[in-house]
Homo-oligomer: A and B are copies of this chain.
């Protein structure tokens, strides 16, 4: 389910965080769902348990999940809300990328077509 790219510069634990957050955003994980345990996921991905735990504790800190010793890690009630608010603030990131593309000579129509595709593709998932 989770896919790790070892060639990437972004640390493994951050890749795990990002993918779990995406699962929550898309609806694969819903509030109350149980995440795979630290040990089972570490075996599945052939990654040291400490790396998984680092990801999980960071998710806890963000309020995305809630971990209980002995029981497991669970998706928080307001996880979706937190993530949506976080992603919303990425609009400036979008501006930076757009500027580069414009300077590179990418046409207005091409970019609009990308935007349309993104909306077409996610139209049913975005409430």
Q: A residues near B, CB below 8 A? A: 22, 25-26, 83-88, 90-91, 93-95, 97-106, 108, 110-112, 114-115, 117-119, 121-122, 125-127
Chain B nearest CB from A99 CB (Å) reads 5
A99 adjacent to B114 (CB under 8 Å): no
Say whether A103 contacts B87, CB under 8 Å. Answer: yes
A97 touches which of B94, B104, B122 (Cβ 8 Å): B94
Q: How far is the CA of A99 from the CA of B115 in the complex (A)?
A: 9
Q: Is B103's CB under 8 angstroms from A91's CB?
A: no
A121 cross-chain contacts in B, Cβ below 8 A: 99, 102
Contact B99 A90 (CB under 8 A): no
